[in-house]
Amino acid sequence: MSPELTAVVEELDAHRVTFEAFCRSLSEEQLNRPVPRSTWLVRDFIAHLATIDGPVGDMFRTVREGGDPGIRDADGGKFDVDHWNDRQVERRRERSVDDLLAEAAESRAELKKHLLALTETDLASNLKFGGDNKRRPWETTLLVYLQGWCKHDPMHVVDMLRALPDAHTPGVDAWVDDPVVQGYQAMMNR
């Protein structure tokens, strides 16, 4: 495994440990708060992070197999990530944090099989992001994508914190004080 991929995996794992501890620290009342500037509740961001590793892992597998490095629907069409995410979180709204984090652990383990199999050639391949309701399509290398994507957990903790001013602690604030996380938030919350 390349040193760059090793760094991505180590950061990804560290963020998940911190994310799980943060989620388990929240009360039921906090979990059910609506998140300002979002249609989701706090708990929905946990459900999102429990499910999104599925299509992302499929993308890694496809890259490894020599296929198109974008995420596609089962029929090969453009993947509507916003619609897919909304369906996933809605289906999981009544589940406990422990259930969501168990699902997240399973999907992360499957994703990591594909992530760890990526070669330096795979990491240099171009990745096409089809865009979503807040970002236009763009293209980058898979490695650059991974270096930002591995911060997905703290990116969404910032979203959750908009509904949780009482959950700010020096440790949480230091965790999310990352230029990539802040850049993502600036782009997604104009």
Tokens representing 121 are 């050639």
Each residue's pLDDT tens digit, 174-183: 999 999 998 8
Tokens representing 155 are 């990116």
Domain spans in the chain, listed from the N-terminal domain onward: 3-188
Q: What is the CA radius of gyration of the chain?
A: 16
Q: What is the pLDDT at residue 183?
A: 87
Provide mean pLDDT across the span 5-24.
98
Q: What is the pLDDT at residue 102?
A: 98
Tokens representing 147 are 């270096």
The full DSSP string for 130-148 is ---SSS--EEEEHHHHHHH
Would the pLDDT of 66 be above 90? no
Phi/psi for 140 (5° steps) reads: -155, 180
Would the pLDDT of 96 be above 70? yes
Would the pLDDT of 173 be above 90? yes
Q: What is the pLDDT at residue 82?
A: 84
Each residue's pLDDT tens digit, 100-110: 999 999 999 99
Please answer whether residues 81 and 136 qualify as being in contact, where contact means their C-beta atoms are separated by less than 8 angstroms: no
Point out the least confidently predicted range of 34-43, 74-83, 135-144.
74-83
Q: 3-188 has which fold?
A: Four Helix Bundle (Hemerythrin (Met), subunit A) (1.20.120)
Please answer whether residues 161 and 189 qualify as being in contact, where contact means their C-beta atoms are separated by less than 8 angstroms: no
Residue 90: count other Cβ atoms within 10 Å of its Cβ: 12
Alpha carbons within 13 A on the beta-carbon side of 36: 8
